[in-house]
Amino acid sequence: MNIILLSGGSGKRLWPLSNEVRSKQFLKIYKLEDGSYESMVQRVYRQIKTVDPEAKITIATSKSQVSSILNQLGEQVGLSVEPCRRDTFPAIALAVSYMHDVLEVDADDSVSVCPADHYVDPEYYRVAERLGQQALKGEADLVLMGIQPTYPSDKYGYIIPCGTEDVSWVEQFKEKPDEETAKSYIEKGALWNAGVFAFKLKYVLDTAKRIFGTCKYSELLTSYNELMKISFDYAVVEKTEKIQVIRYSGEWRDIGSWSMLSQTMTDETVGNVIADEKCENSHVINDLDIPILCMGLKDITVAASPDGILIADNQGADQIKSYVEKIDQGVMYAEKSWGVFHVLDVGTDSLTIKVTMKANDHMNYHSHDHRDEVWTVVSGRGRTIVDGMEQPIGPGDVITIQAGCKHTVFSVTDLVLIEVQLGENISASDKHKYEMP
């Protein structure tokens, strides 16, 4: 099976756990049998590999999510990285050309496209595999997954099939209706449109060549910021006459709010949380190193992270986006390919960060124009390179790096540093990367 996972999200609906670089699919809230936790994207990856251990998985994402993906999945997945946002068709076309040109998937082979943040059971990916197999037959140019509705929802679009067969031709699509209209659609056998579909790579490559003038990965990547902004629905779906749908009736939840997220949680509490016996229908997620004590909570959502603390009734928690947009604060916690960083203090001309690196990893070789840095090793062993000079480091060692100096750190064991940045204009954009010496 070839599969493209669409990974996006701004991180505002699940604040404070998610932020600009840590979207909902990277939150580790799903408990495993050994007591550890996995994220949505880890869960999705595991489920796909359970269905097909040889599946070729490519994640279509933005630059801001690359570090989190590498941190959680390693380098075992393909990455199609958008240089900027250009709508869904350019993103999917770039990912398809990546699979064809970089992963060498044949143009006559098929690929299934799924969101990376749906909570489903493994049967979902068996159906996704069937979509690809159906697309290979060539009867239809596009094969969709239709979710069997469980209630008349006004949150989803609808697919009206021509019949009741497991594989049916699509008669028409309907946009998000009101509840009464949704009831009438369901009576006609309508299915929820989950945004899951399959096609032969050649079909989208040809469409990209017609719209953009090229379907080569290198050329699409180079000219990406100039590509037409156009949705996949408008570029492909509305222009396609031969469309089939395959039904899926298992568990499916589109995790876009706190209420939907809480419904998928294994436990009502995650992290260092103590809840008394009077707490009812309340969910608490603690991403901090300090305890949270909850007593007598009823229908309450609590979430704590370095970015802030949310306390809301369960209904109110779904209405936070407009309030979060008023919060002016930089990212206080983020996953990187080498580990995580946690901002401890923000001063007028300083920034203090706790850096936790995984063993046998390293940062990019880089420099900064407008800030000095002082690293203090708290625990672990490693080595630094500062302007080409290499030295081993261990607990208690202090490394001073002046603005303009090229530097990096390698971890031999798990490594914890306190990094103090000093300067008048400290910015994440103040960074130049170089080849390793």
Give 187-243 as a DSSP string: HTT-EEEEEEEEEEHHHHHHHHHHHHS---HHHHHHTGGGS----HHHHTGGG-S-E
For 8-33, what is each residue's pLDDT tens digit? 766 678 889 887 777 888 888 888 88
Give the pLDDT of residue 324.
87
The answer to the question of residue 332 being in a domain is no
Residue at a domain's end among 230, 254, 278:
254
CATH number at residue 72: 3.90.550.10
The answer to the question of residue 159 being in a domain is yes
Q: What is the DSSP string of 72-94?
A: HHTTSSEEEEESS---HHHHHHH
Residue segments in the chain with a per-residue pLDDT below the cut of 50: none
Give the pLDDT of residue 399.
96
The answer to the question of residue 410 being in a domain is yes
User: How many residues are listed for the chain in this entry?
Assistant: 437
The answer to the question of residue 329 being in a domain is no
User: φ, ψ for residue 198 (rounded to 5)?
Assistant: -140, 155
The answer to the question of residue 333 being in a domain is no
Give the pLDDT of residue 264.
86
**Rounded Cα gap, residues 376 and 419, in angstroms:** 7
Per the structure, the count of domains in the chain is 3
70, 334, 344 from 354: Cα distances, Å? 20, 11, 7
Are both 280 and 419 inside the same structural domain? no
**Rounded Cα gap, residues 434 and 407, in angstroms:** 9
Are both 399 and 276 inside the same structural domain? no
Print burial letters for 118-137: b (CB count within 10 Å at least 16), e (below 16). bbbeeebbbbbbbbbebbee
Are both 54 and 77 inside the same structural domain? yes
Are both 347 and 289 inside the same structural domain? no
Residue at a domain's end among 213, 230, 254:
254
Give the pLDDT of residue 231.
92
The answer to the question of residue 401 being in a domain is yes
Give the pLDDT of residue 77.
92
Print burial letters for 356-392: b (CB count within 10 Å at least 16), e (below 16). bbbeebbbebebbeebbbbbebeebbbbbbbeeeeee
Are both 249 and 265 inside the same structural domain? no
Q: Which amino acid is at 143?
A: V
Residue in the structure block whose two tokens are 């006609």: 188
Answer for the pair 239, 253: CB distance below 8 angstroms, yes or no: no
Are both 182 and 248 inside the same structural domain? yes
For 55-112, what is each residue's pLDDT tens digit? 999 999 998 889 999 999 988 899 999 999 888 999 999 999 999 999 999 999 999 9
Are both 147 and 219 inside the same structural domain? yes
Give the pLDDT of residue 11.
66
User: φ, ψ for residue 361 (rounded to 5)?
Assistant: -135, 180
Are both 426 and 277 inside the same structural domain? no
Give the pLDDT of residue 10.
60
Residue in the structure block whose two tokens are 């779906």: 237
DSSP state of 20: S
**Rounded Cα gap, residues 223 and 200, in angstroms:** 24
Indicate the pairing of strand 110-115 with strand 2-6. parallel
Answer for the pair 15, 310: CB distance below 8 angstroms, yes or no: yes
Are both 204 and 353 inside the same structural domain? no
Cis-peptide, bond into residue 16, ω within 30° of zero? yes
DSSP state of 364: P
Residue at a domain's end among 223, 254, 285:
254
User: φ, ψ for residue 194 (rounded to 5)?
Assistant: -90, 0
The answer to the question of residue 331 being in a domain is no
Residue 414, helix vs strand vs coil = coil
Are both 241 and 302 inside the same structural domain? no
Residue 375, helix vs strand vs coil = strand
Are both 120 and 231 inside the same structural domain? yes
CATH number at residue 371: 2.60.120.10
Q: Which run of H or E residues covers position 124?
A: helix 123-136
Q: Which amino acid is at 312?
A: A
The answer to the question of residue 330 being in a domain is no
Residue 401: domain span: 338-434
Are both 317 and 267 inside the same structural domain? yes
Q: What is the DSSP string of 129-170?
A: HHHHHHHHTTS-SEEEEEEPPSS--SSS-EEEESSSSSEEEE
